[in-house]
Structure 1
């Protein structure tokens, strides 16, 4: 995208995103899914931005993408993880009865969308039908159903939208006020406009290169299931209209982070600083001692740590040096920092398992926040809560907890009120003293062969670490396992399920072969769901072995015992093939263009339509990936 079009897109996001979020909140019922819907919509719009801008005002076309993304077939069958901030107990009470929100959420997606367009946005039925892509009679019928359902709730509760002493209050006005109050409910969004535009750019770039990216092998971490979306046809050109003139979002503020003078409790110890500059850097070629900078030198409750940086030719390098409190510089151990860059914050965890100390180095004046773990709520919503950490000269030293397998901690750094960095933390102690004990999980479905116990353990540990829990505490179960197809490479697939401390379920799928393993994806059903009744359909992939290029890809389907076959269809509904479901599921070579799996009982009854979830690029845990964009 050219600079001019990029700027116009950012202006559009700055000027229209708030309205899109309000509508999306009504369409989805929760802030997390609403924000994800808007981000997916904006990503679709960005891919065709040249056409949209060339046709005039892009707003109607973007609105159409939003509504169809929330009301189409994919929305009805989507079964992916939602990232949502859990409710803030200190937030003010809602401006409307919770029953109204529940009633709106209870409508099927097309009816809900038609209701929102008519009674919140006050669009005529014909315009609503055009946005929904349905006949006008269908839109009118949906509008009437939604109106009747919501007015019944308003009448029953006689909430704040009925004016006392005014029995003739127009019911349509009451309905509009109720939806307006819901759309404007207090709460915060995860991203601001500039961060949202950066996120959209990242999504588009990530989608473009996803096919080319090989999944990481044995050390891979579990990936979040990305909701399946089908590309919509480009909307017809709209009439020329005034373009959005909102000011462009300013760039993220930059600052030199890993620079002197030294910071920390040992910053005044000249002899120690001189010794640290001369300390070895292990096998890495180091700059001459007089060209090295000591960024940090401090003692913590879990030991001594120093951060030293410098340049070799044009390459910026550095090392952590760690050891017991009071250790001499020559006795400190070398650790190479992850994600090293002059302008990038760094973090390191000392101590553990159990209580440990987190050290974060940011720019002077930055705000540092830490989140101890991911929370999966009872409804399957997923989010993190960050708390501000005390800083001195941009350095935070925070007590955290770790498990033998890792840490669920994520760090967020804000500058001038904007997030400039969000990421997981580096902990050298993960797995150092052995892994957490893991009992054999209970199998919930039949399997053709015993599961690969190492693969099951890897899957469950990768779920437990972000939740800051040990696997055994999550009531782990094995939903299903199966070998890879006999005609191909040896290996197996496992689908494991765990009960999160927050009340939701976590369902994760992994594939392994030849000692390597990769996450296929994770979804988070509500805690009330019976795992035995869940249907999973997703892509698993592993790099081609023996130095080959590309990757092997499989379709993994597991369904309740009643299901005997799985029809694989593409985005247009065309049948690609039918797979028999034996021993609880099937693993087959991935058909091209597979979009949906339709499971049927032995008598032909349709049981479920499940979107085929692709192997996603984002790790489970919502740690963040460093600087935005």
Structure 2
């Protein structure tokens, strides 16, 4: 079917209406006159549509028509246009200050300021749209921007924050989003223009809200337009964001999206399309060096403590939504808490730590790495990061890997970070290489400074991982123990156990453990399943070798397992009626019966530092800077 000129024009109007009406709304501070202004401007364009298309600039023609219509408005300032409720205790003063300052500017200056943000045009690109008088208009806009900057600094000081001039554009964009949040959808943009072009002035098609509710952090401002003389019209209200103590904040699955780009239609569409059914956008913004969108996969039944799967998309600042790329995360989510989202976001050579939680939470503790000692201990230095309305975006001097950990709202656990930061192949064929990667990721040490070797490579019972396996193969299993030493002579061990393939056991990767350096070659004890029932099964690995192994109670030295012959450097010990009273004392004898080991093997400490010795660091300069303090 052949498209007509009317079809093309109607499609253009429908596509460009939102961006044109947004600029008109900021100019008039009243939705009804804004809608009428855009309708009038596009109706005038309809008569010269073919010419605009032939010149290859229909969008520029429409924008120029809107700015010309704004320029024809009365040059009236509205310092009293903003009527606000008192700010909540934890509300930001920034939106109200910017809105009050904008209201004192002329409609055309407001339109130019909005056009720079909404249409993403710099002054050089705006000049031809303004016509002959553009130098004076652009100069007035520059002066207005200076006034906005002064108001921005003063408002941040009221909030107890340092000046952050680079955040002005983001905060203005967020204010524009809030101004337009209460705008009703037009019945049919093309129909509005068509009827206006035909000279029909059907008032009901121009029905809109008489006021726009601008809501930010617990405060609401009502904006009355310059053209709104006469009796006040009822305000169009939109659901206000939940208050800081609203129960909605208990579950990430109920959170509203936050951040300057939270209402970006393209980003919302991306999350819906790429994230899958039910994926919920919780934050979107241009941060230093990166545009990021963060979403969660909602909990099924809002059960407290289940946690959230986290999804992340990123790109350079200003990247269109359709070009944002999903970032694979090494850890898929934050589990064990229902009101916290934390994620590392790549930003050039460094990164940003983003933490979101309830607006009433004032701080979180973050530790990027663990420090290992020769004595087998693990230390963590935690920095306390301030939150603003439950959010921090902290620009890090160094990326973190699997060692990154957050403490907040009852959560004390790892932080999802991009796979490229950790570089860990936890289940590779080379245990020594895998352990080097894991230690480097957890400690931040360069892999080249870590020394690794295979401590044990021994046969073991073929059904070590599946005691019920029945098969005529009867082959051996295999146990490998890798050992890594750090420059500070700390020792980390990792055991990998595989059976002979008879059953469903497969491969067991025991978590890396930090042990005292002097015990680097002591035996390892790895708990297995409890088959037969009520029977504890333990794999014992003796790097120094021996002939038999046996468990005794540590205090009474009563035997709790048979003296079991070793296969290679391993043995599987069975403890009947195992009540978890261990750890047990291990006795290893050589072929002559002489005892070569008699002690309780060290269990080691988990490399990720869940039971680390904690050091509280009151400053954060060693870690990086909050995003609003980055030059």
TM-score bin, normalised by smaller chain: 0.3 to 0.5
TM norm structure 2: 0.44
TM norm structure 1: 0.44
Bigger relative contact order (CA 8 A; separation at least 6) = 1
